[in-house]
Amino acid sequence: MTGAVPDPLPGWLTAARRVTALTGAGVSTDSGIPDFRGPQGVWTRDPEAEKLSTLSWYVADPGVRRRAWQERLHHPAWSATPNAGHAALVELQRQRRLRALLTQNIDGLHQRAGSDPALVLELHGTVHEVACLSCGERTPMRAALDRVGAGEPDPACERCGGILKSATISFGQALDAAVVDAAVAAATDCDAFLAVGTSLTVHPAAGLVDLAAAHGARVVVVNAEPTPYDTVADLVVREPIATALPRLLAAG
Ligand SMILES: [Zn+2]
């Protein structure tokens, strides 16, 4: 089925007691966070911007780091507020049906909406923390931005002098193995797997759909554009996320 949220909802969906959700940029665009990869994405319109998120450029070029810190000062995540899509996933948790919330988003809006941080797995890291590329120490982003604001254009690690970067996964940087392991466990141990607002073209996120389906989960895709997994899905919804998700995740 493709298109609108079915009414009534399929019985397998309302009966699902362990739902694993995977969210992508589409969940946060209604909160004013731009999609970096999509057809209107920041990187699509300004390939230079992609350098800021590429590890080799970031390490090699102090100019790239200074630009990256200026971008972080003005990141839309600082002023964004969660939307009805985030709230629908909090409601799923309140119904005790949420197995895990995997997200490709780095904005922390799921936690701010009220999702239990213990259930949120941030596959691409978080912009709310800074990580030292040498010693690995993690510190709050706010403190680093205060240093930038006070005149340090490229603040170094206060412990070891290493290069600091937002605790997000840049191109050329490995994902956190523990996070990926937990995501795989959640994909293989659910009744229903919801992919929301993601183009399902970036691994390992995309492969999680295969895993879930192979382990017997029903698959729901909610995305404005077609995805490579629409043919695998039991239900494909093209309605806007903020209006579709609250109805899809209503208690049965
Ligand atoms: Zn360090």
pLDDT 10s digits, 34-73: 876 555 555 556 777 788 889 999 999 999 999 999 999 9
- Residue 91: helix, strand or coil by DSSP? helix
Give the closest residue to 142 by CA, choosing from 157, 130, 156. Answer: 130
Separation of alpha carbons 99 and 18, rounded Å? 5
3-state class (DSSP) for residue 1: coil
> Cα of 157 to ligand 1 centre, how many Å?
5
Gap from CA of 141 to ligand 1 centroid (Å)? 14
End-to-end Cα separation, the chain, in angstroms: 20
Catalytically active residues, by annotation: 124
How long is the chain? 252
Contacts of 32 (CB under 8 A, 6+ apart): 76, 79, 80
Name the stretches of the chain with pLDDT < 50.
none
Q: What is the pLDDT of residue 42?
A: 58
Adjacency order of strands within the sheet including 138-140: 138-140, 125-132, 164-168
Residue 72: predicted pLDDT: 94
Ligand 1 center from residue 203 Cα (angstroms): 29
Residues 6+ apart with CB under 8 A from 140: 128, 129, 130
Give the pLDDT confidence score for residue 36 in this predicted structure.
67
Instruction: Provide the β-strand partners of residue 23.
Output: 103, 196
